[in-house]
Structure 1
Amino acid sequence: MQDAPALSIDPLTRLAPWGSDPAASRGRRHPVVATRDRNDFQRDRDRIVHSTAFRRLVYKTQVFLNHEGDLFRTRLTHSLEVAQLGRAIARTLGLNEDLVEAIALAHDLGHTPFGHAGQDALHACMAEHGGFEHNLQSLRVVDVLEARYAAFDGLNLTFETREGILKHCSRRDAEVLEADEPGGVARRFIDGTRPGLEAQLTDLADAIAYNAHDIDDGVRSGLITLDQVCELPLVRRHRDAALAEHPALAADAGRRLLYETIRRMLSAQVHDVIDASAARLREAAPGSADAARTLPRLIGFSDAMREEGTALKRLLFQALYRHPQVNRTTELARQVVRELFAAYVAAPQEMRPGFAARDDRHRAVADFIAGMTDRFALGEHRRLTGRDLFAELAASTAAADTAGADGGR
């Protein structure tokens, strides 16, 4: 069989015709003077890295709450992994690596403390006040909430980076955003077009990263086992290949077999995305980044790999995300968010002055809570309620364990 023809990538710009050229960006909401040392997407990346919201990600939960262990992933380490995977794939497909990196580093800036448990609780609290959704909040962070520049609110990022940050949006929310910014980043949710290819790629790199590291963190926590996830062909074949090449791993009491399995699985998924996407790009041959927005989604897995990835997500959901131990801690996290929300609505002066002075009280409270790290939220909850819910859980668990041990004598 002949090799498929190579993608046409400009050796100077390293971009294919469908890659986003920073010189052709749709620009920023507030014009800025160009610099000679960085293009617009590189400036976006740098603004994100220097933002307060980015630094907070180091103490925001991925799956396991921040206090549960130093080696579990946080939103920051997850974002770095997404950026690394995205850049590697973008380089091969002729997409803009800097834009992929900027989107990856910013995509979780709007996440609440305590992961999806915090988001769900805050959404319920805001049900009668416009709701809460972390993708919208990430856009809100970079458009409004970051206060670093004298001339404007937010980070004033390019259209292309902001488009990638807003990867999900309801029709209702899109119409609100469209009214404020006609033809802007929400337009595609109304007219049915796609985001740029770099945004499509970052969305996929996000899924690849969290599936892999949730296996790692889940096994590290003891809540799932490698044998459990090896029930799936996607994982099992890479474990078996690792053992065939390195038989001594079978007797290794450490984590090398797990790491080797995950490494091989990641490589297989990356190569699958590259091969499947390259084939679609060659067939569709979009002449520009904007032309690609009018076509069906071009960046993605093969059908077979997509099905295997879906099966992995399903297993992780059932065995890890809904594990009784995870449920106990996430329910306490929801309680912390609910009680913080009620306390700040009743007494807005308990928030920092910039939030306390706002007229839109409920949205101000949501913005304040969403910006918290796990440990700051717990500290505020202790200050306002006098309770430490996680310490109480630990004490009750220890007491139950002691009672069980005594009963077995």
Structure 2
Amino acid sequence: MLWSDLLCAERLRDPGYVEARTRSIFVQDHDRIVFSAPFRRLANKTQVHPLYENDHIHHRLIHSVEVGSVGRSLAMHIGDWLIDEGEIGPHEDHSLANVVQAACAAHDIGNPPFGHSGEASIGGWFAERFDADRGLCGALDPVLRPEFTAFEGNAQGFRIVTRLEMYRNAGGMRLSKAVLGAFMKYPATAATRAALPEPLRRSYAGLKKFGLFAGEEALFAEVAQGCGLPQEQSAAGRWWRRHPLVFVVEAADDICYNIVDLEDAYTAGDLPYDVVRDTLNELAGRPNRDTAGYTRSEHIALLRALAIGRAIDACVAAFQAHYPAIMDGSFSGALVDVSDCGASFARIGTLAQERIFTSRRKTELEISGRQVIRNVLDGVLPVFEALAAAGWDETALAGHPAQIARALGLDLRAIATPEAALHGLADFVSGMTDRYALSVSRMLSGT
């Protein structure tokens, strides 16, 4: 892969666009993302703790901003090294940083309410409907069912930025191909991934999950061609090797959520001060700082900042060490895991699984959130069933389905197949904030 291709500034479905002299196209991409409604809704979506009353606990929007900050720092360090190595030209380190920051801003834009438990709830509901094999779910091509039963926020995010937001069905936000390439963690459809040999799915990070719905595969093919991403073709279908900057975006995400989850766990009372202090102190390299006079919260905040800085340095070094494999598409690790901080991050992951993600309040709210999502899906599905019965004529909707569509402001444009209808349903539910989902659930269930 070549950086001259990887930093492709051509807009998706808008090849004639010329960037302004005073603002690069990658900065414009970032602005389009942060001023969008889906990005704004992240302010009321779960990061780890659902519906939390403490204003200092992270939500998805703050997390996305912080990931962008760390990603920009990573990319500037890497870009500076690439200039020294003669891999990119002068000032292109800024292009790298802007691409990564924009991709980081969008990286969680497709996440549903209640975080990963929300993804599982949506997938579980669809699986039950497909088992019943009736109505719209029964009419869907079985090959497409995994798009819904294993509902994936990454694929939903790509759908939002390339189809649903701004220029609907005409390129979406029309972001640059470089930013879209850096965004795509899993460049394969669900059907293609499922048909590939299991050893390959296990061995290549880009096939850990799927990141594309079938309806957006052609859009990503345009992105991949523009960025020069290697395409793999087999009887199972086509998929692509990751853009090198995906590893940088992923590292920024890994650094932020691992470290900040600890700080949030202390703030929420899920972990005691000494456990969080000692864990962050190890990751920060046991700094010899005078913290006399610090409150416990200030001490944790200091260690969090120092730990992030050390992790950035370690991931930059890991990128440099694995650069040839990253550029030929064969690298399959996570920069955090192969860095000098890998062992510390592994211990944080174990601590989170055992004591943060299983906390009582989080578990109780995830149970409630699961039922909220099921109530919403149960209540809204009849609108799309009625639309199908009306020959996909939105104006022919009547009675209770018409009331629901009107009350919720459902977007029923361009829905004319079972696939489009079920994606329309998933678009609505996954786009909800935690609080709006709870409100709609109460309305639909009459409570």
TM-score, normalized by the shorter chain, greater than 0.5: yes
Equivalent in the alignment of 2:397: none
Q: Give the corresponding residue for 2:256.
A: 209
1:355 to 411, 424, 437: 411
Structure 1 residue 278: Cα displacement: 2.6
- Per-residue CA shift, 1:173-193, capped at 9, x if unaligned? 559368634744577684675
Question: Match of 1:399?
Answer: none
Distance 1:303 1:274, change over 3 A: closer
Aligned equivalents of 1:201, 1:30: Cα separation in 2: 27
Describe how 1:15-26 pairs up with structure 2 within 5 A: 18=3, 22=7, 24-25=8-9
| Match among 272, 275, 278 for residue 314 of structure 2 | 272
Structure-2 separation of matches of 1:264 and 1:182: 38
Unaligned 5+ segments in structure 1 are 1-16, 388-409
Q: Is the 8 A contact 2:51 2:434 kept in 1?
A: yes
Match of 2:282 among 237, 240, 246: 237
Aligned residue for 1:296? 331
Query: Structure 2: how far apart are the matches of 1:179 and 1:104?
Result: 21
Distance between the aligned counterparts of 2:422 and 2:306, measured in 1? 47
The size of the alignment, in residue pairs, is: 357
| RMSD, matched Cα | 3.0
Which segment is superposed worse, 50-59 or 331-340? Answer: 50-59
1:355–1:365 CA contact under 8 A, matched in 2: no
Are the equivalent residues in 1 in contact too, given 2:27–2:98 (CA < 8 A)?
yes
* 8 Å CA contact 1:19, 1:197 repeated in 2: no
Counterpart in 2 of 1:317?
A: 353
1:152 aligned to which of 170, 173, 180: 170
Note if 1:64 corresponds to 2:49.
yes
Q: How much has 1:321 moved relative to structure 2?
A: 0.8
Residue 195 (structure 1) aligned with residue 257 (structure 2): no
In 2: Cα distance, 1:363 partner to 1:86 partner: 31
**Once the 2 structures are TM-superposed, how far is the Cα of residue 114 of structure 1 from its aligned partner?**
1.3
Q: How does 1:216-255 map to 2 (within 5 A)?
A: 216-229=263-276, 232=279, 235-237=280-282, 241=286, 244-246=288-290, 248=292, 252-255=294-297
Per-residue CA distance 1:213-271 (angstroms, 9 max, x = gap) = 11111110001123234565xx34368945x432525xx54412211221221111111
In structure 2, list runs of 5 or more residues that go unmatched. 80-92, 131-144, 195-209, 234-238, 385-400
Where do residues 1-400 of structure 1 align in structure 2 (5 Å cutoff)? Answer: 18=3, 22=7, 24-25=8-9, 27-37=11-21, 38-94=23-79, 95=93, 96-127=96-127, 128=130, 129=145, 130-131=147-148, 132-146=151-165, 148-149=166-167, 152=170, 154-168=172-186, 169=188, 170=190, 171-172=193-194, 176=214, 180-181=218-219, 183-184=221-222, 190=232, 194-229=241-276, 232=279, 235-237=280-282, 241=286, 244-246=288-290, 248=292, 252-281=294-323, 284=324, 292-296=327-331, 300-301=335-336, 302-348=338-384, 349=401, 350-351=404-405, 352-356=408-412, 358-359=415-416, 360-387=420-447
* Residues 150 and 85 of structure 1: CA distance in aligned 2, closer, same or farther (over 3 Å): closer
State the match for 2:82 in structure 1: none
Aligned partners of 1:239 and 1:257 also within 8 Å: no
1:60 and 1:74 in contact (8 A); partners too: yes
Q: Cα gap change, 1:44/1:20 in structure 2, threshold over 3 Å: closer, same or farther?
A: farther
Q: Is contact 1:112–1:372 with CA below 8 Å preserved after alignment?
A: yes
TM-fit CA distance, 1:368: 0.3
Q: TM-score, normalised by structure 2?
A: 0.72
TM-score by length of 1: 0.78
Q: Residue 71 of structure 2 contacts residue 97 of structure 2 at CA under 8 Å; is this kept in 1?
A: yes
Question: Which stretch of the first structure deviates more once superposed, 210-219 or 158-167?
Answer: 158-167
Percent identity at matched positions? 25
Deviates more, 1:24-33 or 1:378-387: 24-33
Moved more, 186-195 or 361-370: 186-195
Shift of 1:163: 2.3
CA distance in 2, matches of 1:241, 1:87: 25
Q: C-alpha separation between the residues in 2 aligned to 1:222 and 1:20?
A: 48
Contact 2:273/2:296, CA 8 A, preserved across alignment = no
